[in-house]
Amino acid sequence: MHTKFFVTTPIYYVNDKPHVGSTYTTVAADALARAYRLRGIPTLFLTGTDENSQKNLEAADKAGAKDLQSYLDGMALIWQKTWRELGITFDDFIRTTEERHHRAVEKFWKSVEQSGDIYKATYEREYCVGCESFKTPFDLQDGKCPLHPNRPLEKVSEENYFFRASAYAQDLLKLYHDKQDFVQPQSRQNEIRSYVKNAFEDFSISREAKKLACGISVPGDESQRIYVWFDALVNYMSAVGYGTDNKLFAKWWPATLHLVGKDIIKFHCALWPAMIMSAAKSDPSLRYANGEPKLPEHIFAHGFFTIEGQKISKSLGNAVDPLDLVKKYPFDAVRYYLLREISFGEDGDFAAQRLEDRYASDLANNLGNLVNRSVSMSRKYFDNRIPTTNIQETLRGLPETVWGGADNLEGLWQTVDQYIEASRWDMALEAIWSGEAVSLSAANKYVEQTQPFRMIKENPENAAKVLYTLLEACRHFAWMVEPVMPNVAADIIRQLGQDPETERQKGIKELKKWGGLQPGAELPEPKILFPRLENKKI
């Protein structure tokens, strides 16, 4: 696994509040950050808001805001509050109107300028405010932006500063070739390679100040403002002290993983590394000792999802507010559904019925049932205690049974770790639920096969072994799913008679060992983990 983990989400535009789409990326980042923290790896999870955008200006106007700054402040607060209420464990929240960000962007601009990659030229292009980007003929479909077909393009003709991006096309192609996991999943690599090969041009990186009432001024030229993407991408560095705290920057940069949606891969996988390659030529803090630029290690672009088959859009009124969602469903269940249902990297659909089905089958019937019957039977037959047995003798399942034993559980932990490293919680969860030798399903089958409620009369010693195994397996599964369902995991650990925080302090190595439960320890009365869902409309 990585030795440090610095994960980011896109910084979101504040022309609207969070919806299920931004929640998806943020939950995915949160589940990874929690997994690394649990494994004792220094972790930094960054999210934030993209505030120097024309879109926000329009939204502030529409909302009748007193002034732009108070609109931005109000919206940034809504985003922070929403993530906090959802239990998102971000370590830092960057706003691009902050002083630390302005200083970083100015330093970055000057480095690129010093490398000789900024020049002035007259530009004439169509601009899509929806994307905040200029469009080349390569980007358009029937003369329209494919992402915002209902929004007319603006014709922009002005003298701007340009970034000599095209000079880095060959270096980018070499990067994609040499570092196959730079852009993930694989399927996105072809798209980005073809873009860089065929359409990667110099970028206009400023707009006339008189036409744009927000943004950071170009250093040394007040008549121009820095283009919002050239400013926004630098957030990943400004949050870790670029231009303000060299020690912090040296500690955290480069980012381990930028998590983004597939809509913004050109900016993240092509423009951003090209910007860093350029700045690194004149800024040693952006280079390794061997002279190579310090590029982010991985960029993972997940798919887009629709809601009940429809594109998420303000005009359709289907942009589900995550805070409404958690009034109806426990957030752990929403997190599980989002990360399990949609293969990470592919497009998918968010459907309440599917969420409810998964809640009933995967959560209540499989996980909930396993914990409940293991705890209830142990309490019933062993005086409200964990059965007293020789732990060594529980390393393997009873002969000729479906339970694969402690070795296989160790294998499952390794599988889960590998999937986490590949950002694939969907695959990790599938292995935990359905893996052959040991999994939640296998544990439930073990109950059916061994029937401890019968065995207790014929062979109480074996019944003790089976029930100890089941309880200990529940403990392992709880820690495996903890980053995705932190509240559920803590509840399970408590039902097993342990304090989750005391256990966490022991460290992952201890938690992964077989035999963490003390035979004979008391078991509290179990509570239903996944109560029936009430029929409220989201």
Residues that bind ligand ME8 (CB under 6 A): 10-13, 21-22, 24-25, 50, 232-233, 235, 260-261, 263-264, 304-305, 312
In the complex with ligand ME8, the residue whose CB is nearer, 233 or 492, is: 233
DSSP 3-state of 459: coil
Rounded to a whole number of angstroms, the minimum distance from the CB of residue 78 to ligand ME8 is 13
What is the closest distance, in whole angstroms, from the C-beta atom of residue 185 to ligand ME8 in the complex?
15
**Closer CB to ligand ME8, residue 254 or residue 497?**
254
Q: How far is the CB of 33 from ligand ME8 (least distance, A)?
A: 16
b/e sequence 252-286, b meaning 16+ C-beta within 10 Å: bbbbbbbbbbbebbbbbbbbbbbbbbbbbbbbebb
CB of 410 vs ligand ME8, minimal distance in Å: 35
Shortest Cβ distance from residue 272 to ligand ME8 (Å)? 8
CA distance 109 to 253: 18
- On whether the CB atoms of residues 359 and 337 are closer than 8 A, the answer is yes
Nearer to ligand ME8, 24 or 433 (CB): 24
Q: Which is nearer to ligand ME8, 299 or 488 (CB)?
A: 299
**235, 305 contact by CB (below 8 A):** no
- For the chain, the straight-line distance linking the first and the last C-alpha, in angstroms and rounded, comes to 39
Pair of tokens at residue 82 = 């929403």
For residue 476, give both structure tokens: 């392992």
Closer residue to ligand ME8 in complex, CB, 261/519 = 261
Alpha helices by DSSP H, listed for 208-330, are 228-232, 235-238, 246-252, 265, 272-282, 322-328
Amino acid at 129: V
Beta bridge partners of 350: 307
Residue 406, token pair as written in the block: 């402690």
CB of 338 to ligand ME8, least distance (A): 10
Residue closer to ligand ME8 (CB basis): 91 or 263: 263
Cα Rg of the chain (Å, integer): 26
**Strand 154-163 to 203-204 pairing:** antiparallel
Which of 232/270 has CB closer to ligand ME8? Answer: 232
- Shortest Cβ distance from residue 389 to ligand ME8 (Å)? 48
